[in-house]
Amino acid sequence: MQAKSQSVLGQEIASEPHLHFPIENIRTCFPALHRAPAFTFFDNAAGAQVPQLVIDAVNHHLLDCNVQRGGRYAKSQEVDATIARARQSVADFLNARDPSEIAFGMNATSFVRLVSLAIGQTLGQRNEIIVTDMDHEANVATWLALEKEGARFLWWKMGEDGNLHADDLKPLLSAKTRLIACTVASNALGSIVDVTGAAKLAHDAGAEIFLDCVHYAPHGQMDVQAFDCDYLVCSGYKIFGPHMGFLWGRRELLQKLRTFREDFIPDEPPGKIEAGTFIYENVAGMDAAISYLESLGKRADAVGGGEKRDSRPANLVRAMQNIRAYEVSLSLDMLRVLNECGAKVYGLTGEKNVHQRVPTLCFNLPNISPASVTEAVARAGIGIRDGHMYAPRLMKRLGLRQDSGVVRASLVHYNTPEEIQSFGNVLRDLTRHG
Ligand SMILES: Cc1ncc(COP(=O)(O)O)c(C=O)c1O
């Protein structure tokens, strides 16, 4: 059957509920999903589980080559080879032009800080930075810290529908705009931003765009060439890898970036961005996470009518398309369950907008505090989260108190419709009996 499709961020997503997604097979790849006691994990926006391949790669690294890179002996050379392979894998995953555009490090926040500190040194006449009130604070406060360097800030405000819109961005741009910092998907509301449109507006104004892809990454295809962005950050632990982060930047911009490095390190990416030692075993795990995703792309045809695609980048694209299509049905099921429970869902609530979101939903139940909801759900063996979701400005926009905030359920492709129904049963019980 040829599925109907819709285009979001220039990417095709099947709009039929997904019949062929090999969910049972996928779940067997994640040992943590089968540990006793039974546990349903709906807190993936805070970090996802890892497939066995990742555990094996980290173990192999620690057992067989837990040594410093750059030596002349075999184990050290294996570390160099692992890092080079991981860099190529991430480059394939992002559709980067060259692996040297990828830098590895601790997490996304430290990379936002590294780039912002560098940009802060070169502001001059173009000293305006556009930030949003929908972003995770890691991509807001880091930029606001440049006030001392003479930066001025303009706010790209979220629309009433819970998403950012180009029409609200246009009037903020001028010959003074240095950079737009925005997310690809809201880590609280799940809305997907038209970052390609924002990049075009930025470039027309002679500015750059810095994308926070942390939340979008496990849900859809990252394509730095299609996004036409200038910088992009991501955390490996949200995309089925271990705790680590990576930065992508246009090579010519990375070459100019002022970073701290010792004098003996050449002023060339990626080395100039990776001063010191990073977590090699987790970089090995990240490489394995991409192999896992590649293996998904090789599996049974679900989108695109059975066309044979076997290059690594094509398999990765296919994997992310299949994930997107499956997750649309998870979003729909979640919206229906939350509606039935009388929940107030924040952001994109309509079923017709389901393609504009990932299955991350923030809500509140009438007259029950967010903390009481998550505690009740936890007693039923389901992990969700309450609070401000590291987006205090967004909470304010939604008229919510920062200390109590919202309840967030965030799903990924290993979650199932059955888990959503069990979650719904717990919420229904709670609304009936308090
Ligand atoms: C959208 C978004 N941006 C940035 C971050 C910070 O990422 P890291 O923990 O890798 O610094 C997070 C973490 O949850 C996030 O969800």
- CA 138 to ligand 1: nearest atom: 4
Burial category of 264 from C-beta neighbours within 10 Å (exposed 0-12, middle 13-18, buried 19 and up): exposed
- CA 237 to ligand 1: nearest atom: 10
pLDDT above 70: residue 283: yes
* pLDDT given at position 4: 58
Whether the CB of 109 sits within 6 Å of ligand 1: yes
Q: Which of 235, 238, 246, 286 to mutate to test the pocket of ligand 1 (most atoms within 8 A of CB)?
A: 235
pTM of the entire predicted model: 0.95
- Centre of ligand 1 to C-alpha 311, Å, is 30
Q: Give the closest residue to 136 by CA, choosing from 242, 237, 235, 259.
A: 235
Q: Give the closest residue to 363 by CA, choosing from 331, 324, 328.
A: 331
Whether the CB of 215 sits within 6 Å of ligand 1: yes
- Centre of ligand 1 to C-alpha 208, Å, is 21
Whether the CB of 408 sits within 6 Å of ligand 1: no
Whether the CB of 138 sits within 6 Å of ligand 1: yes
Structure tokens at 267: 């002023």
Tell me how far apart the alpha carbons of residues 166 and 233 are, in angstroms, rounded to a whole number. Answer: 21
Whether the CB of 245 sits within 6 Å of ligand 1: yes
Percent of the residues in the chain that have a pLDDT greater than 90, as a whole number? 91
The per-residue pLDDT of the chain, averaged, comes to: 94
User: Beta strand pairing status for 385-387 and 406-410?
Assistant: antiparallel
- Centre of ligand 1 to C-alpha 166, Å, is 24
Q: Which residues of 408-419 are buried (b: 16+ CB within 10 A; e: fewer)?
A: bbbbbbbbbeeb
pLDDT above 70: residue 141: yes
- Centre of ligand 1 to C-alpha 109, Å, is 6
Structure tokens at 101: 């555009």
Tell me how far apart the alpha carbons of residues 236 and 217 are, in angstroms, rounded to a whole number. Answer: 9
pLDDT above 80: residue 16: no
* Angle, helices 417-433/312-340, rounded to nearest 10 degrees: 20
- CA 106 to ligand 1: nearest atom: 10
pLDDT above 50: residue 80: yes
Cβ atoms of 134 and 158 within 8 Å: the answer is yes
